[in-house]
C-alpha cells in the first residue's frame, strides 16, 4: 500500500455527538492529518458550501439526518460550491439498507459504521484515493455512479471528477492546477445539468400526454406536469454560468414551456379535459427546448431517448402494480389468524423513480 501523506489534506467532521467527533479527529490525526475542523451540526458547517469546502467530510447521519442529506445534495448540486466533488463518508451507529440507499441517492461516497478503528478509517480513505467511482450528472443527481446495470435510453457519460483528496495525499497538488481541474469539471457539470434537465422535461411531458388526454385527467399525469417547473428553474439559473454561447433562445423556450405547463396543469386540476392543441404545443415546445439546449445533436436521437425512457418507466410501473396485486392476493388468501406472518415481497411498495438514466 502506498505511503500516502495526509498532512495537507483538509478534513471536516460534522457530528452532533462531541465525543464521537473527537474520536474521529484523533483517528485522523494519528493517520497524519493536520487540518481537521469539527462542527457540531450541519448548520454550523453550512459555510463550507460557500468558501472552504474540504477534501474529505465525515458526516454523521444519526442526528438530524434530513439535514445531513440536504447538505450532501447541496454540496453536489448547488452552483457556486468551490469543490462539489469532495469525498463524503457518512457515519452511523445503525446502518440499514434504507440508510445506505439514501446515502447513495444524494451523492455520498460511502457509509461507515461506528465505532471505528483507525484501520477501518484508513481503508475507506485509501479506497477513495485509489478506487473512487466516476461521477454522473443527471437532471436531479450529481455524484458517484450508482448504476448497477444499463438503463433504457442513452447512457449518461461518466465524469472523471477531480479528487483533491487523492491529489494532496499523493503529492500531486498545486493550487493553480487543482483550480483549473475544478473549474473545468464544474463547467462540464453545468452543461450536463442543462442537457439532462431539458431531456427530463421532455420525458415528463411525453409520459403525461396520455393521462392528460382522458376526459378526467390522470392524477399521475398531473403530478408529472407539476414537476416540470422545478427542472426548468434549475436550467434557467445555470444559464450564463458557462461562457458557451448565446442563451437567449434557450431562455425564451424554457419560459414558454413553463408558462404552458402551468396552464395545462391548472386545466387538468380543474378536472376537465386538456385541449388537444395545448397538449400538442407542450410536446412541441419540450422538443424545441432539447434542440435549443443541444443544437448539435439530432432531435430525432433525443426523442428516441425520451421515448425509450418512457417505455421503460411504464414497464416498471406495471411491474410494481403487478407485485402489489400479487402481494394483496397472497395476503387475502391467508387465514386471519396467520395474516401477521405474511408480507409483500421486498420492494413491492417502493415508489417508482424517474425513468431517465441516472447515476
347 DSSP 8-state letter: T
Residue 82 placed within a domain = yes
Let me know whether 244 and 207 are in one domain.
yes
**Tally of domains in the chain:** 2
* Residue 337 placed within a domain: no
pLDDT of residue 2: 74
Instruction: Kindly tell me the sign of the dihedral angle through the C-alpha atoms of 78, 80, 85, 86.
Output: negative
* Whole-number Cα distances in Å, 84 to 102, 160, 238, 311: 18, 13, 15, 33
The residue out of 300, 317, 334 marking a domain boundary is: 317
pLDDT at position 195, please?
96
Residues 35, 167 within the same domain? yes
Q: Which residues contact 83 (CB under 8 A, 6 or more apart)?
A: 53, 54, 55, 162, 164, 182
69 within domain boundaries:
yes
Does pLDDT of 33 surpass 70? yes
| Residue 350 located in a structural domain | no
**112 and 200: one domain?**
no
Is the same domain home to 162 and 213? Answer: no
Is the pLDDT at 349 greater than 80, yes or no? no
Verify that 119 and 198 share a domain, yes or no. Answer: no
Pair 76, 125 in one domain: yes
- Kindly report the average pLDDT of the chain as a whole number: 90
- C-alpha 285/C-alpha 289 separation (Å) is 6
Domain boundary at 122, 138, 173, which?
Answer: 173
Same domain, 250 and 158: no
**Pair (141, 227) in one structural domain:** no
- β-partners of residue 10 are 35
Q: Are residues 136 and 217 in the same domain?
A: no
pLDDT of residue 155: 62
CATH of the domain at 110: 3.40.50.2300
User: Is residue 349, in this structure, part of any structural domain at all?
Assistant: no
- Summarize pLDDT for 100-144 with one digit per residue, the tens: 999 999 999 999 999 999 999 999 999 999 999 999 999 999 999
Q: What CA–CA distance (Å, rounded) separates 173 from 191?
A: 26
- Alpha-carbon distance 60 to 291, whole Å? 43
Q: Confirm whether 78 is domain-assigned.
A: yes
Indicate the burial class of 57 (C-beta count within 10 angstroms; 0-12, 13-18, 19 or more).
Answer: buried
Whether 293 and 167 map to the same domain: the answer is no
Residue 244 cell numbers, joined: 458557451
- 207 near 221, Cβ under 8 Å? yes
Q: Within a domain: residue 294?
A: yes
**Is there a single domain that holds both residue 126 and residue 238?**
no
The three-point CA angle 179-87-151 to 5° equals 100
Res 355 pLDDT > 50: no
Residue 98 maps to a domain? yes
| Residue-wise pLDDT tens digits, 320-346 | 999 998 988 888 776 655 544 333 443
Together in a domain, 301 and 229: yes
Q: Which domain holds residue 22?
A: 10-146+154-173
pLDDT, tens only, 196-233: 999 999 999 999 999 999 999 999 999 999 999 999 99
Amino acid at each position: 500500500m502506498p505511503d500516502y501523506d495526509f498532512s495537507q489534506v483538509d478534513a471536516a467532521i460534522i457530528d452532533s455527538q462531541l465525543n464521537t467527533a473527537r474520536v474521529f479527529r484523533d483517528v485522523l490525526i494519528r493517520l497524519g492529518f493536520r487540518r481537521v475542523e469539527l462542527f457540531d451540526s450541519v448548520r454550523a458547517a453550512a459555510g463550507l458550501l460557500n468558501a472552504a469546502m474540504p477534501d474529505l467530510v465525515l458526516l454523521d447521519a444519526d442526528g438530524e439526518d434530513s439535514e445531513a442529506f440536504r447538505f450532501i445534495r447541496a454540496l453536489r448540486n448547488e452552483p457556486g460550491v468551490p469543490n462539489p466533488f469532495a469525498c463524503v463518508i457518512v457515519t452511523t451507529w445503525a446502518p440499514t439498507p434504507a440508510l445506505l440507499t439514501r446515502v447513495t441517492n444524494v451523492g455520498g461516497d460511502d457509509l461507515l459504521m461506528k465505532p471505528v478503528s483507525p484501520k477501518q478509517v484508513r481503508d475507506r480513505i485509501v479506497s477513495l484515493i485509489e478506487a473512487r467511482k466516476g461521477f454522473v450528472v443527471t437532471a436531479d443527481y450529481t455524484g458517484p455512479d450508482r448504476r448497477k446495470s444499463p438503463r433504457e435510453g442513452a447512457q449518461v457519460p461518466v465524469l472523471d471528477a477531480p479528487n483533491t483528496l487523492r491529489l494532496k495525499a499523493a503529492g500531486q497538488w498545486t493550487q493553480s492546477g487543482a483550480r483549473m481541474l475544478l473549474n473545468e469539471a464544474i463547467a462540464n457539470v453545468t452543461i450536463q445539468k442543462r442537457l439532462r434537465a431539458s431531456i427530463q422535461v421532455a420525458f415528463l411531458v411525453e409520459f403525461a400526454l396520455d393521462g392528460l388526454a382522458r376526459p378526467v385527467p390522470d392524477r399521475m399525469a398531473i403530478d408529472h406536469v407539476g414537476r416540470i417547473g422545478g427542472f426548468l428553474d434549475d436550467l434557467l439559473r445555470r444559464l450564463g454560468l458557462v461562457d458557451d454561447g448565446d442563451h437567449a433562445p434557450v431562455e425564451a423556450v424554457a419560459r414558454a414551456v413553463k408558462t404552458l405547463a402551468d396552464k395545462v396543469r391548472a386545466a387538468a386540476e380543474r378536472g376537465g379535459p386538456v385541449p388537444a392543441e395545448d397538449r400538442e404545443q407542450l410536446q412541441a415546445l419540450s422538443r424545441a427546448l432539447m434542440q435549443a439546449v443541444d443544437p448539435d445533436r439530432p432531435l430525432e436521437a433525443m426523442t428516441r431517448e425520451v421515448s425509450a425512457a418512457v417505455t421503460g418507466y411504464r414497464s416498471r410501473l406495471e411491474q410494481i402494480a403487478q407485485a402489489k396485486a400479487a402481494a394483496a392476493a397472497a395476503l387475502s388468501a391467508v387465514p386471519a389468524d396467520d395474516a401477521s406472518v405474511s408480507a409483500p415481497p421486498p420492494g413491492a411498495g417502493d415508489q417508482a423513480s424517474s425513468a431517465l438514466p441516472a447515476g
